[in-house]
Structure 1
Amino acid sequence: MLGMLGHTFVSFVDNIMVGQLGTAELAAVSLGNSFMFIAMSIGIGFSTAITPLTAEADAAHNIDQAKATFKNGLFLCTSLGIALFLMVFYAKPLMYLMKQPEEVVELAIPYLDLVAFSLIPLVVFQAIKQFSDGLSMTRYPMYATILANVVNVVLNYVLIFGKFGFPEMGIVGAAYGTLISRFIMVAYLWKLLSIKEHSKAMVTKIKFFVLDTFMIKKIISLGTPSAMQMFFEVAIFTSAIWLSGLLGKNPQAANQIALNLSSMTFMVATGLSVASMVRVGNQKGLKNFKELRRIAFSIFLLSILFAVTFALLFFLFHKQLPKLYVDFNDLKNLADNTEVVGIASQLLIAAAIFQISDSIQVVMLGALRGLQDVKIPTIITFISYWVIGFPISFYFGKEEQYGSFGIWMGVLAGLSTAAILLYIRFNYLTLKLIRENH
């Protein structure tokens, strides 16, 4: 959980520090990160294929298979990171075609150039992290992300505001902080795994370009649907950023605040999702399907407890939390800041309601990935978010309807549908496996 939270904590710090500069800057980071989120979701989603394959090999004490998973997975993720960087880099002109506020686009482009390049170390890190998770060594990626966050906070402070003789770079300073901290994160995690007894033999002395076609195909066949599942979900949140951009810079900045807070709680659920993927993968390797089901439902209940706690926090503090992101002493922008906080506090009520369905759907997806069942869940996520969720967001998100709150009604509908359908799928599959192996 802390490892996953680390990724969003980087943007949490960026948002709070950039928010002090003004609402246009906050909206620019939001717009730039919307492109990043889509690319990140594909990279992170694809890399999850490494975890169940590693967990299965680890349970069977098959070091050769674990090493092949690591090497081929790392090669694929490095290639994907480069492809995603190029995709985001050349997609920048789209911002002008998307009817986003002009001043926001001007600020977002130089920020996006640097942050897009940080996709390469991010996806490489993700490959090593998923391998480490598959070996049940989840502590080391967490250490790496904590280190990256400390570096990011220091660099942000120094470069955004121009402290200790450094130039004042504004939001470009935040981008440099993100980029440098991500390279440090990769180097640190690889170093840790290369000295630990359990992982040393698997991550050192690898012939990077000598590839195993069978393993490459296996990772791609698991990773591609996983990437699509994550893409469908993240893309509906991204469409919320773009739809709120049509309402103006203040609704867009407010949307970014609510999105940033709810993505932090989502990462806690994602941590539990990784736990369910690893444990279900272990039990699948041992062919113990009753135990597999018991473990999955325990994690599932734990995620609901967390979700209810976060829902209550959002509900109780929906007026206070958005104030962290803006500077109320800035009299010049006071009217803008007040409007942003007003809209964001409404959106946090919607975020409170969807905590539970968001947790259920992500933990169920993790358990299904552990079973290496990825094709049907991909269809489920597409239907939930794009056949049901997006049309509701689009219709109710217009100014004459419910505006920003209407956009989030669609997100809530999509998440709830996904939660119900994925739960039904997992329940059906595990009961079937128990019957067949009895």
Structure 2
Amino acid sequence: MVLSNYTKEFKYNWQLAAPVMLGMLGHTFVQFIDNVMVGQLGTAELAAVSLGNSFMFIAMSIGIGFSTAITPLVAEAHTAKDFTQGKSAFKHGLFLCTVLGITLFLMVYFAKPLMYLMKQPIEVVELAIPYLDLVAFSLIPLVVFQAIKQFSDGMSMTRYPMYATLLANIVNVVLNYVLIFGKFGFPELGIVGAAYGTLASRFVMVVYLWWLLKGKETSKHYVTHIKFFVLDKLMIKKLFSLGTPSAMQMFFEVAIFTAAIWLSGLLGKNSQAANQIALNLSSMTFMVAMGLSVASMIRVGNQKGLQNYKALRRIAFSIFLLGTILAVGFALLFFAFHNQLPKLYVDLDDTKNLIDNTEVITIASKLMIAAAIFQISDSLQVVVLGALRGLQDVKIPTIITFISYWLVGFPISWFLGKEAAYASFGIWLGLLAGLTTAAILLYIRFNYLTKKLIDSKHGTS
């Protein structure tokens, strides 16, 4: 094995992944800004945003996971110069994502009473409900944006969703500052102000990305003159068969992190706020791995089309290696600054809430050590999952993710996350176990499939 065979691919892999990473980081940065600004109001407010977003994460995972079906279909049609098929994949994807966005909004909206049944701190629930009303409505523009973004990625126009996300972040920061704290004569709305910021920024994202694509010669005919309700059953079926397993894979992973939010809520508002800090910081590094996962899906898909399975395996391993190197870097960063990073989220000069804020930082600092350890597992499992999607292998990986997170990870979080055991740290040990199991099993699956493809080609040649 010559290392340069793998490292020579790094530059191209990075070029492909970087715009996707920045776009993904943009989504997370919206939440980071919300958390940092809301954290200045107090730990109950930060815990309320955490609880409200826990419902959002589940809905978002289904919407984002389903929308990934659009990319390979558009990419395939674009490579084959089949405009009709490409436009059909986009139109039907957009239709299904719009319906899904509305459905997810209604599900989250009517699920709010569950908060009272989940034994969460009552002051946190009462703050979370008005916040969730507005943020739930933002699911509609978010899932519609995802449909347009996945089309754009499939056309290899990965920069434009990134521009739209960056603009949305600017809108979000400005509106948050003005509405949370009541600046420039605006009312002081607290965490509801953060919800208005998120909602407005997501509408801006959709309109701006569509406007950008409408202005480009390559894409304008795809995104204009769409007969939205003239539908083809075959294309809908194709999108469903690709999108549903991907949505389930994302759902199983995101749901265990959401369960961690709920389990930490049983320990009190400070544990929940600390969990939110560690989760928010981890999700930012996870978006880097997600960018590599998309690069992995695209490059493996290309080599599969060419039936060049040895190159496919080498390129995939080069992405796995790059992902691992970056993950080790993030792990060292989290470990080195595990005491400092949580301090970004709370106001230590706030004497009224000083005891709560200090407790939140103490818990979050311990969780950052667990987060540092699972960087490698988390990165590897999502990058390998991308490679398996490139091979269009979606059913077995869905079963693997379910087993890893719900039969291995969740029981450990449940048993070790009790006050009498390891409390919040125990919850995160369960997350670590689930992610590590997923990384190992998905890697074994990819290794088996690629060797089988190479052997079958040699067997027939």
TM-score interval for Structure 1 and Structure 2 normalised by the shorter chain: over 0.9
Q: 2:132 aligns with which of 112, 127, 135?
A: 112
Structure-2 residue corresponding to 1:86: 106
1:38-437 mapped onto 2 (5 Å cutoff): 38-437=58-457
Q: CA deviation at 1:21?
A: 0.2
Q: CA deviation at 1:135?
A: 1.5
**Does the 8 Å CA contact 1:23/1:253 hold for their aligned counterparts?**
yes
Task: Give the distance between the partners of 1:307 and 1:56, measured in 2 at CA.
Answer: 31
Task: Give the distance between the partners of 2:131 and 2:252, measured in 1 at CA.
Answer: 25
Q: CA deviation at 1:213?
A: 1.2
- Alignment partner of 1:437: what SS? helix
Structure-1 residue corresponding to 2:11: none
Q: CA deviation at 1:437?
A: 2.7
Q: CA deviation at 1:121?
A: 0.4
Q: 1:13 aligns with which of 25, 33, 40?
A: 33
Q: CA deviation at 1:289?
A: 2.4
Task: Give the distance between the partners of 1:183 and 1:419, measured in 2 at CA.
Answer: 36
Q: CA deviation at 1:5?
A: 0.5
Give the length in aligned residue pairs. Answer: 438
**Considering only aligned residues, what root-mean-square deviation do their CA atoms show, in Å?**
0.9
Q: CA deviation at 1:59?
A: 2.5
- Going from structure 1 to structure 2, the CA distance change for 1:71 and 1:131 (only over 3 Å counts) comes to same
Q: CA deviation at 1:292?
A: 2.1
**Does the 8 Å CA contact 1:57/1:63 hold for their aligned counterparts?**
yes
- Going from structure 1 to structure 2, the CA distance change for 1:372 and 1:287 (only over 3 Å counts) comes to same
Gaps of 5+ in 1: none
What does the per-residue CA deviation read over 1:23-62, in whole Å, with 9 as the maximum and x for residues that have no partner? 0000000000000000000000111111122222222222
Structure 1 residue runs of 4 or more that deviate by more than 4 Å after TM superposition: none
Q: CA deviation at 1:287?
A: 2.8
- Alignment partner of 1:132: what SS? helix
Q: CA deviation at 1:435?
A: 2.3
Q: CA deviation at 1:223?
A: 0.5
**Does the 8 Å CA contact 1:133/1:278 hold for their aligned counterparts?**
no
Structure-1 residue corresponding to 2:3: none
User: AA paired with 1:111?
Assistant: Y
Task: Give the distance between the partners of 1:208 and 1:282, measured in 2 at CA.
Answer: 30
What does the per-residue CA deviation read over 1:354-374, in whole Å, with 9 as the maximum and x for residues that have no partner? 000000100111111111111
What does the per-residue CA deviation read over 1:140-170, in whole Å, with 9 as the maximum and x for residues that have no partner? 0000000000000000000000000100000
**Does the 8 Å CA contact 1:280/1:295 hold for their aligned counterparts?**
yes
- Alignment partner of 1:164: what SS? coil
Task: Give the distance between the partners of 2:293 and 2:137, measured in 1 at CA.
Answer: 28
Q: CA deviation at 1:264?
A: 0.6
- Alignment partner of 2:184: what SS? coil
- Alignment partner of 1:209: what SS? coil
Q: CA deviation at 1:18?
A: 0.1
Task: Give the distance between the partners of 2:55 and 2:26, measured in 1 at CA.
Answer: 19
- Alignment partner of 2:219: what SS? helix
Task: Give the distance between the partners of 2:456 and 2:230, measured in 1 at CA.
Answer: 39
User: AA paired with 1:196?
Assistant: K
**Does the 8 Å CA contact 1:46/1:227 hold for their aligned counterparts?**
yes
Structure-2 residue corresponding to 1:33: 53
- Going from structure 1 to structure 2, the CA distance change for 1:383 and 1:33 (only over 3 Å counts) comes to same
Q: CA deviation at 1:67?
A: 1.2
- Alignment partner of 1:198: what SS? coil
What does the per-residue CA deviation read over 1:37-95, in whole Å, with 9 as the maximum and x for residues that have no partner? 00000000111111122222222222222111111111111100000000000000000
Q: CA deviation at 1:197?
A: 2.1
Q: CA deviation at 1:283?
A: 2.4
Task: Give the distance between the partners of 2:102 and 2:304, measured in 1 at CA.
Answer: 33
Task: Give % identity.
Answer: 83
TM-score, length-scaled by structure 1: 0.99
Gaps of 5+ in 2: 1-20
User: AA paired with 1:187?
Assistant: V
Task: Give the distance between the partners of 1:209 and 1:288, measured in 2 at CA.
Answer: 40
Q: CA deviation at 1:276?
A: 1.1
Q: Which moved more, 1:18-27 or 1:369-378?
A: 369-378
Task: Give the distance between the partners of 1:125 and 1:427, measured in 2 at CA.
Answer: 34
Task: Give the distance between the partners of 1:309 and 1:342, measured in 2 at CA.
Answer: 23
Q: CA deviation at 1:294?
A: 2.2
Task: Give the distance between the partners of 2:384 and 2:333, measured in 1 at CA.
Answer: 24
Q: Which moved more, 1:234-243 or 1:57-66?
A: 57-66
**Does the 8 Å CA contact 1:52/1:369 hold for their aligned counterparts?**
no
What does the per-residue CA deviation read over 1:184-204, in whole Å, with 9 as the maximum and x for residues that have no partner? 000111111112122222222
What does the per-residue CA deviation read over 1:226-259, in whole Å, with 9 as the maximum and x for residues that have no partner? 0000000000000000000000000000000000
Task: Give the distance between the partners of 1:201 and 1:281, measured in 2 at CA.
Answer: 25
User: AA paired with 1:83?
Assistant: T
- Going from structure 1 to structure 2, the CA distance change for 1:115 and 1:210 (only over 3 Å counts) comes to same
